[in-house]
Amino acid sequence: MNKILSPACLSMLISAFLIVLPVQAELDLSLPDYNLPDIGDASIGSISYAKERMIGLKVLREIRADAPVIEDSEISAWIRSLGNRLSARASGSSNPYYFLVVKDDRVNAFATLGGVIVVNTGLILQTESEDELAAVLAHEIAHISQRHIARMVENSKRNMLGTGVAILAGLLASSKNAEAGQAIITGAVAMQAHNDLTFSRAAESEADRVGLRILASAGFNPAAMPIFLKKLEAEFSGARGVANEYLRSHPLTVKRVSDARSTAAKYGRFNPKKKSLTYQYLREKIRVLSRATGKHGQVPQNISATLRRYAKASALLQRGNLNAVLTIMGTKSANKSEALLIANALLQQRKYQAVVQLLKPLVRLYAGENALIIPLANAYLGLGKAAQAWQLINHVVLSEQSSLTFFEVRQRVAQQIGLIGAAYRSVAERNLRIGEYQHAITQALQAMKAAHISAAELKAAQYLLRKAKIAEKNHSLGQ
């Protein structure tokens, strides 16, 4: 029996088509048509760079507020450093890039409008080298630098309007001939889906080409991209039900890997360097913090005895077995990742002086690094040396992606030495970074009213208040 869409259903359907597509571009091995035509000038699009920058901040703050982001300072600093090394080689806007790691076992990464790149823990654990991870980041950076997402939004606005009109025409036809009307509607939907798929294929192939150029110019092995693509193809082309059927319906996946391999070869012979120790340590830390299961939960057999020891101690720390951690690791290390693991165990045992002795040399070596400053400041607080903690923490230059934990520690330190204005501002700074603008405004106002506030602190609070008010205004306008 033929059914005509009810007015209510029609309204919902048209609304759905007129809404802008979700602004993310996922790493999708099913869109491999590498030799499609170039999709145009990256400067084309009605969304300005300023608008993108504003959207990026909003998206970043919402993700930090709502998603299971790993806010561990060591991991955050590492992924930002890796991402910034690559993005410095990208062309286009001077807008900032933001890099986040989300606790999610699925193998995925995506870029959003505004320069936010999110990497799942599952994807990091799927990689076997920092070059492979860099290949994924370079691909996502290319989506942003080539303005694929901005142009996707622009393209969808035009196409969705036409689709909506076609659906209306289908409704009118349905009043006379249900089958004809339904055919018009189905055709409009199918054409829109085809247009989106074609655009995505072109964007994916361009992201591969540009990503390979970024990867090579940043000093990473270009061959890592086809290697990782091939690995994912092998992983998900087995007897996996729907995923297997989907890959069978997209045989060009093989061509995409082949083209990526041939393009990578054009960059010449790569002189392999020693594997990044930071990557290896933090991959094991992520394995523990994400509570990975299955294949991702297994420590690789081919890692060194030192890394295996670190991985075991990290798991013990998560379970609260502090004595076992220190038995395995000892109480001294010049390696930053090992020192942080030891310091966390010592802090929980309230061995504050041992933490100070361990971390002070590293803080001098890695100036301004939140991951080291946070436990050292906590150790000073434990020793009743709040003034030293403040001297340490107050010199840190803040950024949009400063650790949320850093602001919590900064607030406690400021309170203990009677800097109430600085304490309020620390809370306001944290709230700003998770999109809690009203709270940020309230706390900034409280900071400005605090007794004995210094001129520098007052100026900083006033600046923060202006930022929070602008962000709140843009948020309320839906921008």
The pLDDT tens digits of the residues spanning 79-125 come to 999 999 999 999 877 889 999 999 998 888 888 888 999 999 999 99
pTM above the 0.85 mark?
A: no
User: Does 16 have pLDDT greater than 70?
Assistant: no
User: Does 5 have pLDDT greater than 60?
Assistant: no
Measure Cα distances from 420 to 295, 443, 449 in Å: 49, 11, 10
Q: What is the mean pLDDT of residues 245-251?
A: 31
The pLDDT tens digits of the residues spanning 351-402 come to 999 999 999 999 999 988 999 999 999 999 999 999 999 999 999 999 999 9
Best CA proximity match to 143, nearest among 103, 78, 199, 70: 199
User: Does 324 have pLDDT greater than 90?
Assistant: yes
Terminal CA-CA length for the chain: 45
Residues 60/432, Cβ–Cβ less than 8 Å: no
User: Does 28 have pLDDT greater than 50?
Assistant: no
Gyration radius of the chain's alpha carbons: 26
User: Does 35 have pLDDT greater than 90?
Assistant: no
- Pairing between β-strand 24-26 and β-strand 116-120 as defined by DSSP bridges: unpaired
**What one-character DSSP code corresponds to residue 3?**
-
Q: What is the mean pLDDT of residues 209-219?
A: 92
| Predicted local distance difference test score (pLDDT) of residue 159 | 56
Lookup result for tokens 């080291």 = 372
| Predicted local distance difference test score (pLDDT) of residue 24 | 42
- Pairing between β-strand 109-112 and β-strand 24-26 as defined by DSSP bridges: antiparallel
| Predicted local distance difference test score (pLDDT) of residue 360 | 97
